[in-house]
Amino acid sequence: QVQLVQSGAEVRKPGASVKVSCKASGFTFTSHDFNWVRQAPGQGLEWMGWMNPDSANTGYAQKFQGRVTMSRDTSISTAYMELTDLRYEDTAVYYCAINRYYFMDVWGEGTTVTVSS
With binding defined as CB under 8 A, does residue 27 bind other proteins? Answer: no
Q: Report the nearest approach of other proteins to the CB of residue 2 (Å).
A: 13
Figure out which of the listed residues 21, 32, 34, 49 binds other proteins, where binding follows CB under 8 A. Answer: 49
With binding defined as CB under 8 A, does residue 40 bind other proteins? Answer: no
Sequence length of the chain is: 117
Q: Identify residues 58-117 at the interface with other proteins (CB under 8 A).
A: 59-62, 95, 97, 101-105, 107-110
With binding defined as CB under 8 A, does residue 23 bind other proteins? Answer: no
Q: Which amino acid is at 55?
A: S
Tell me the C-alpha distance between 32 and 89, whole Å: 30
Q: Which residues of 26-43 are buried (b: 16+ CB within 10 A; e: fewer)?
A: ebebeebbbbbbbeeeee
**19 vs 63 by CB, closer to other proteins:** 63
Figure out which of the listed residues 45, 57, 88, 116 binds other proteins, where binding follows CB under 8 A. Answer: 45
Tell me the C-alpha distance between 16 and 87, whole Å: 8
Contact residues for other proteins (CB under 8 A)? 35, 37, 44-47, 49-50, 59-62, 95, 97, 101-105, 107-110
